[in-house]
Chains A and B, each alone.
Chain A
Amino acid sequence: MIHISKVSKEFVTGERRVLALENIDLEVAAREFAAILGPSGCGKSTLLNMVAGFERPTRGSVRAAGAEVSEPSPQRAVVFQEPALFPWLTVLDNVVFGPKTQGQPAAEYRARAQQILEQVGLVGFESHYPAELSGGMRQRVGIARVLIMQPQILLMDEPFGALDAQTRSLMQELLLEVWERHHQTVLFITHDIEEALLLADRVYVMTARPGRIKKTITVHIPRPRAMEVTTSPEFNQLRREVLALIREESQRAAVERERVR
């Protein structure tokens, strides 16, 4: 469903050129939940932005659903780290923004909105403004407004990164529930090892700058999953494995920083 091949991304700021991503190959099959795990500044968000169509690769190609990605599309819906809701619209108007903008019949999307608001636990908050909601509630709106578009591909850029631990695990469970119901193809960006292992079928571990795929880990924990799996021996084994990889990587990055100095 998502084919990233030989993608590099260079940023030019004045005289300086920074290689953010180097030679990334990545495939996400249809209905697969893939997570990209990496330290901050490894370019994982840049990678997602290219799949979303917000940025173009310097080299290589990004294809989604069989076509080269050239611009954003409701078929590749994005949940951002900051919920990025329209503060002047109510919860309901934020949620129906997509279908309304695309000119779908109101009767149809209104009914769907009601269903989705129920699914994400926002019933009773339809006429609230984003400023009146907590961080977790806002992110529920961020999820609801993409679900209503029934996208094939769901791109999530550290969507729970700004939430407190308790809210985060609630939101992870919510996402698992939603995914069990719709089985979208998901590309999920995170720096949280547990989050990646809990949610994903496949975890791509990235290196620090320039970002490369260091290793691909397949998570064989059966679905449907719930928070309880995070305490199983199998999960702990995987966590140790990933932790070792990440530690090696951050040490390498630290050594490299020293050398640059």
Chain B
Amino acid sequence: MTRAQFRTPWFLLLPAALLVLWHVAVAQQWVTAGIIPSPATVLQSWQTWIFGGGQAGMLSPYSGTWLDNVTYSSRRVLQGFALAALVAIPLGLMIGWNRLVARLVDPSIQLFRPVPITAWLPFAIAVFGIYDASALFLIGLGAFYPIVVNTTHGVRDTNLLLLRAARMMGARPFTVLAKVVFPSALPSIFTGLRLGVGVAWTAVIVAEMIAVKSGLGYVLWDAYYVGRMDICVATMFSVGLLGYLSDRVIVALSHFVLRWRTLEAHA
């Protein structure tokens, strides 16, 4: 048993307080009755949404559809994110490594980057229609920027001495890129991936609200239209949870890949 296991879980204090505040606000009708559901109502609807059944289940069109929608959204995030990483990491390496590529590509990236992902929505629907492709385009584009920018930054941050050392030991340019620049940029690349997966979840909700007819974003907008605020709130929690989990997965992966770095921190 380590001491950490006995440590007071302080991080639970604020969420618990917010939960109580929420409950009291609804019970005391500080907010107009019927607009905001109570925590208990949300929990119950969420349960029905996930597991279906029960009396409420018979009446609810959402009953038992949670996993399906989670799967739709997660699959889109995964595909769009993978696509973004597959393009952004090699491109970022090239931009950071080669001045000509940087001059050719980097200004355009910086020009397009400030265009919010939501502003691309009409364009995406016009080009790709109300299909998965629209969603993938938006998710991929959103995740692309932070990954490419951080990869480029990581490459440019490579210690000059390490480059010289590699060349002195007979490494040709491609080997230097693969064996020195890439591993040295990895911490930065992981930062980009973490930011990217966050944007991907934002983009998937936006895309599903408008550009496709399934997934958590679709449920969120649909529930809002039919006045099911309990489902809206449950969706928000679901997305938050999934975003958190995907971030944890990337962090765990980075800890595994960058073991040498944790040693450095303790040295």
Q: Point out residues on A near B: beta carbons under 8 Å.
A: 52-54, 71-74, 76-78, 80, 82, 84-89, 97-98, 101-102, 129-132, 145-146, 149
* CB-CB under 8 A for A72 and B164, given A98-B170, A101-B171: yes
Please, how many angstroms separate the alpha-carbon atoms of A202 and B161 in the complex? Answer: 28
- B41 CB contacts on chain A under 8 angstroms: none
Contact A131 B267, beta carbon cutoff 8 Å: yes
Please, how many angstroms separate the alpha-carbon atoms of A186 and B258 in the complex? Answer: 36
Contact A80 B264, beta carbon cutoff 8 Å: no
Identify which of residues 237-267 in chain B touch chain A, using a CB-to-CB cut-off of 8 Å: 258-261, 263-264, 266-267
Please, how many angstroms separate the alpha-carbon atoms of A84 and B168 in the complex? Answer: 12
Contact B267 A132, beta carbon cutoff 8 Å: yes
Query: By DSSP majority rule, is chain B's interface helix, strand, loop, or mixed?
Result: helix
Contact B167 A71, beta carbon cutoff 8 Å: yes
When the two chains form the complex, which single residue of A73, A129, A149 contacts B263, counting CB atoms closer than 8 Å? A129
Interface centre among A84, A88, A102 (most CB of B within 10 A): A88
Please, how many angstroms separate the alpha-carbon atoms of A85 and B175 in the complex? Answer: 16
Contact B183 A72, beta carbon cutoff 8 Å: no
Contact A102 B260, beta carbon cutoff 8 Å: no
- B267 CB contacts on chain A under 8 angstroms: 131-132
Measured CB to CB, the closest approach of chain A to B259, in angstroms, equals 8
When the two chains form the complex, which single residue of B169, B263, B264 contacts A98, counting CB atoms closer than 8 Å? B169
Q: List 29 A-B contacts (CB under 8 A).
A: A52-B164, A52-B168, A54-B164, A73-B168, A74-B170, A77-B169, A78-B165, A78-B168, A86-B165, A86-B183, A87-B261, A88-B184, A88-B258, A89-B260, A98-B169, A98-B170, A101-B166, A101-B170, A101-B175, A101-B179, A102-B169, A129-B259, A130-B260, A131-B264, A131-B267, A132-B263, A132-B267, A145-B169, A146-B169
* CB-CB under 8 A for A82 and B161, given A76-B168, A98-B170: yes
Interface centre among B161, B165, B168, B267 (most CB of A within 10 A): B168
